[in-house]
């Protein structure tokens, strides 16, 4: 185990749509080297809930998203949607379950096939899963194009390169939503967009969530975005979970030094605001050779000898507020 191992933060109940348990994602590195992008993380998402997954670039957020979708399957661990285990499913059995969950990718332009029209891109899922004739598919496709704020008469027969980044992300959202999924994985869906366009896409996601009673996993490194969208937040560092709490609780009273550093790094839109001290310095260690004990200890001002020798596990420190830290901030 390591920082973030443990399952104390997992919840019980029939309303859990997604349950990820002891997930490990490993990639081949240089030569015989293996890179542990995700190291034994667990979390769950209740029906209708938005869970934010945050952390620095390279902490394993996108690897988590792709492994949930089985793109590819994780090295080990469990991914359950509505109680059905996805890991190990193949062919038509996996395809049936995939209709329940869809993904919005980080790069809106490269995630769309440049050779196909917008209508073909959005309708592809309907054709694969069947159950609708050609006329119904066309009607549902045009309706979805309109719902994401584009004109179906002009957009349907154009190709992705004829659209802006924000418009391509709207097309990606339409492609995900046309199958009426229960769960949508949003992998940094606004990070490649201008600030003004980010707000439009976030508002669109919120509208679609409320209209369709969606459950969302929203992945981002921008905590300001996550704060406004999420009901619960999972903070990751170097492939591990380090803190889990409700959004308001986490941003008001973080327990892990890493979470505090991330929150302090959120820029304030006020030219008169005092300049904060830089709390987090240096780069994360290599995932192919992480530090012993707590993985964050090499950048933590509270680290002591126990942090190098003993690996903290996720534990409940306040009611509903979990952290993997030997010296949580309320005791610092």
pLDDT-based confidence at residue 1 (cuts at 50, 70, 90): very low
Which has the higher per-residue pLDDT, 2 or 145?
145
Is residue 239, in this structure, part of any structural domain at all?
yes
**Cβ–Cβ under 8 Å, residues 43 and 51:** yes
Percent of the chain predicted with pLDDT > 70: 95
Is residue 311, in this structure, part of any structural domain at all?
yes
Segment 49-64, tens digit of pLDDT: 999 999 988 889 999 9
Is residue 176, in this structure, part of any structural domain at all?
no
Is residue 72, in this structure, part of any structural domain at all?
yes
Residue 184 CA to residue 218 CA, distance in Å, equals 8
Is residue 250, in this structure, part of any structural domain at all?
yes
The pLDDT assigned to 312 comes to 93
Is residue 1, in this structure, part of any structural domain at all?
yes
Mean pLDDT computed over 2-11 = 75
Strand pairing class (101-104; 183-187): parallel
Residue 238 CA to residue 61 CA, distance in Å, equals 9
Tally the domains of the chain.
Answer: 1
Is residue 16, in this structure, part of any structural domain at all?
yes
For position 50, which CATH number holds?
A: 3.40.50.300
Is residue 117, in this structure, part of any structural domain at all?
no
What pTM was computed for the model? 0.90
40-73 b/e (C-beta count within 10 Å ≥ 16 → b): bbbbbbbbebbbbbbbbebbbbbbbbbbbbbeeb
Domain range for 62: 1-100+220-269+276-332
Segment 75-123, tens digit of pLDDT: 999 999 999 999 999 988 998 888 899 999 888 888 899 999 999 999 9
């Amino acid at each position: 185990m390591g920082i973030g191992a443990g399952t104390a933060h997992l919840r019980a109940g029939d309303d859990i749509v997604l349950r990820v348990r002891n997930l490990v994602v490993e990639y081949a590195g240089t030569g015989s080297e293996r890179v542990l992008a995700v190291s034994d993380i667990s979390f769950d998402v209740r029906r209708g809930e938005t869970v934010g997954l945050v952390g620095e670039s390279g902490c394993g957020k996108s690897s988590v998203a792709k492994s949930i979708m089985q793109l590819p399957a994780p090295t080990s661990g469990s991914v359950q949607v509505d109680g059905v285990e996805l890991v190990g499913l193949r062919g038509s059995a996996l395809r049936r379950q995939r209709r329940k969950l869809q993904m919005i990718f980080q790069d809106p332009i490269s995630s769309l096939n440049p050779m196909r029209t917008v209508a073909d891109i959005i309708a592809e899922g309907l054709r694969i899963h069947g159950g609708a004739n050609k006329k119904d598919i066309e009607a549902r496709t045009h309706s979805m194009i309109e719902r994401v704020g584009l004109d179906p008469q002009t957009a349907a027969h154009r190709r992705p390169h004829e659209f802006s980044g924000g418009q391509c992300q709207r097309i990606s959202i339409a492609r995900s939503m046309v199958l009426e999924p229960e769960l949508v994985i949003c992998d940094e869906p606004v990070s490649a967009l201008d600030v003004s366009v980010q707000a439009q896409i976030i508002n669109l996601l919120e509208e679609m969530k409320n209209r369709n009673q969606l459950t969302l996993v929203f992945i981002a490194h921008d905590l300001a975005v996550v704060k406004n969208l999420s009901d619960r937040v999972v903070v990751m560092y170097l492939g591990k979970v380090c803190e889990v709490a409700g959004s308001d609780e986490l941003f008001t009273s973080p327990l892990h030094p890493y979470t505090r550093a991330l929150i302090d790094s959120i820029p304030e839109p006020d030219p008169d605001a005092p300049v904060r001290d830089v709390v987090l310095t240096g780069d994360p260690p290599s995932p192919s050779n992480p530090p012993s004990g707590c993985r964050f200890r090499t950048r933590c001002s509270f680290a002591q000898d126990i942090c190098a020798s003993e690996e903290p596990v996720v534990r409940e420190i306040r009611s509903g507020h979990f952290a993997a830290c030997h010296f949580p901030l309320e005791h610092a």
